[in-house]
Amino acid sequence: MRKSAIALSFIVGISLAVHARVAFADTSSSSDIATYHADSLIKKDGSYWVWGWQRPVPTQISEVSDVADSWGNGYFQKKDQSVWLWQSAYPTPTVKILPVQGLSHIVDVYENGRTLAWDTEGKVYTSVKTNDGWDRTHFEQVEGIDHVAEIKGTYEYNDKKGNLRFIFLKQDGTVWYANETLQSFAPVPSLEHVTQIEDNIALKEDGTVWTWPEKYSETEEFPSAVTATPIKSLSNIKSIKHDHYSSLAIDNQQRLWFWGATITGVSDFTTLNEHQDPILLKGVNNVQDASIVERSLVVLTSDHRVYMTSIGQVDMPSDISFSLVASDVASIQNGPRHIIMQKTDGSLWGWGINKNAELGNGSYEFMVREPVPVQKPISIFLNGENVGLTSGVITKNNQNFVPLRSVFEKLGAEITFDEKNKVATVTRKGKDQPSLTIRVNVKTGDTTLDNVPVKLENKPFNLNGTVYLPLRFISEKLGATVEWIAADERIAITMK
């Protein structure tokens, strides 16, 4: 066993820098979702949506369109193959859209200190170092490596220091490595005909799995070269997964294998319980995909079911039991502490830690133990123009709510908020239409129209410091017409 002073979310989290792209497929009804990640999605119309932190539901990055691909870390590629970066000025929801110089036709992006990207030809590019750190908007080609199909990183460590290596899978099936300065590249002996790499493990065409050390004793020097050896107990493997301390493999019989660390203790007193030999987990069959999420092992089976079991224990018995999480699931995407599932009807659902609105369901409930639907990505158009929102539309009991200032000022209203009494006031001064005043107590939900109490089906609310008001009620009182266009998941507001 090994004591670790690393925070739990880092220990068991899978790096957000790596996001496999999942396309909408194998569904029984139409869906507007083209691809999705654990914290974002792209609709078939090319619109780009994100959630988490200040955005409790999918929120459109309205400044961009024609998005073809994204990698979950701010980088996205448009249909013209240009690459862009969106940044949020936390703690404000303000968004900046920046062009990325030196990249186009990108296949994927990997971040570990610097940012690496590779294109359809297998050329590798790195972010440029400046006096202020790595510039994520400027890239230059890396010399000495080409025809790359995948990039990962492995972090060698002992009790005193660490050493980062970049690992490259080339299109010819060979594996190469370089130190973090990318000054020289060398092949890993014995690693040929490789189909997949995951940090310090590699899968060959013949179904064998190979690995090389990451952990060394305090007195050992990190080797200058990488030397891989086979994991003898694994054969006929078709896919592998690896997080910081645990590894998974799925064999040709759709069985699941586990090795690495289980986790006990909390926070800075976390203990990693090592299991060096792969363990066949007999409690689940027909495995299609699997991931480590927080202290859970999450599995998708070929009959569209998601199961989980805990790795928060000293031992990992072969007969450990799995519990059902969800049915009718076509695919899953995992973040460090949660998963997003796409069901066979095309809808997205979330499960796991939701401290920072990771599940996109309109709440900040810390732990969600039963799957919840990710709210629909709803756009708002005013007189035919897309309205940018700081946070997306939240739907409660079939009623849509929007942030306080997002729409109503564009309808000619004046918005004020009494922070002390938690009262929002929407005022229209008479010109072409009569004056009116709507007051909403966001603490109690009490609402008045020209000082006359109004009974609303669903009360306004304050969520994580953002006030949400009922869209249709206030828009129509301001003289607008509101129409819900279900086929496009769009709200059309018309104001003469």
Mind listing the pLDDT tens digit for each residue in 19-37? Answer: 444 443 333 344 799 999 9
Task: Note the pLDDT tens digit of each residue in 124-134.
Answer: 999 999 999 99
Task: Report the distance separating Cα 114 and Cα 133, nearest Å.
Answer: 9
**Cβ(58)–Cβ(374) below 8 Å:** yes
State yes or no: pLDDT of 90 exceeds 80: no
Average predicted confidence (pLDDT) for the chain: 90
pLDDT for the residue 17: 33
- Residues contacting residue 314 through CB under 8 Å, at least 6 positions apart: 1, 262, 264, 273
Instruction: Name the band, by pLDDT with cuts 50, 70 and 90, for residue 157.
Output: confident
- Exposure of 370 by Cβ count < 10 A (0-12 exposed, 13-18 middle, 19+ buried)? exposed
- Asked if the domains 2-142+231-373 and 379-494 are classified in one and the same CATH topology, the answer is no
Largest CA distance in the chain: 82
Mean pLDDT of all residues in 263-275: 89
**Number of neighbours of residue 174 by Cβ within 10 angstroms:** 15
Where is average pLDDT lowest: 179-188, 219-228, 386-395, 478-487? 219-228
Task: Note the pLDDT tens digit of each residue in 410-419.
Answer: 998 999 999 9
pLDDT for the residue 218: 80
CA dihedral of residues 231, 236, 239, 242 (deg, nearest 10): -20
Task: Report the distance separating Cα 94 and Cα 90, nearest Å.
Answer: 8
pLDDT for the residue 399: 93
Task: Report the distance separating Cα 213 and Cα 390, nearest Å.
Answer: 46
State yes or no: pLDDT of 161 exceeds 60: yes
pLDDT above 90: percentage of residues in the chain: 76
**Number of neighbours of residue 215 by Cβ within 10 angstroms:** 15
Task: Note the pLDDT tens digit of each residue in 316-370.
Answer: 999 999 999 999 999 999 999 999 999 999 999 999 999 999 999 999 999 999 9
pLDDT for the residue 93: 67
2-142+231-373 belongs to CATH 3.30.870.10: no
Task: Report the distance separating Cα 253 and Cα 240, nearest Å.
Answer: 14
H/E element, 8: helix 8-12
- Helix (H, G, I), strand (E, B), or coil: what is residue 461? strand
**Number of neighbours of residue 267 by Cβ within 10 angstroms:** 10
Q: Give residue limits of the domains in the chain.
A: 2-142+231-373, 379-494
- Helix (H, G, I), strand (E, B), or coil: what is residue 326? strand
CATH fold of the domain at 379-494: Copper Amine Oxidase; Chain A, domain 1 (3.30.457)
CA distances for 353 relative to 62, 248, 303, 340, 350, angstroms: 28, 22, 25, 11, 9
**Cβ(38)–Cβ(358) below 8 Å:** yes
Q: What is the pTM of this model?
A: 0.89
CA dihedral of residues 355, 359, 364, 367 (deg, nearest 10): -60
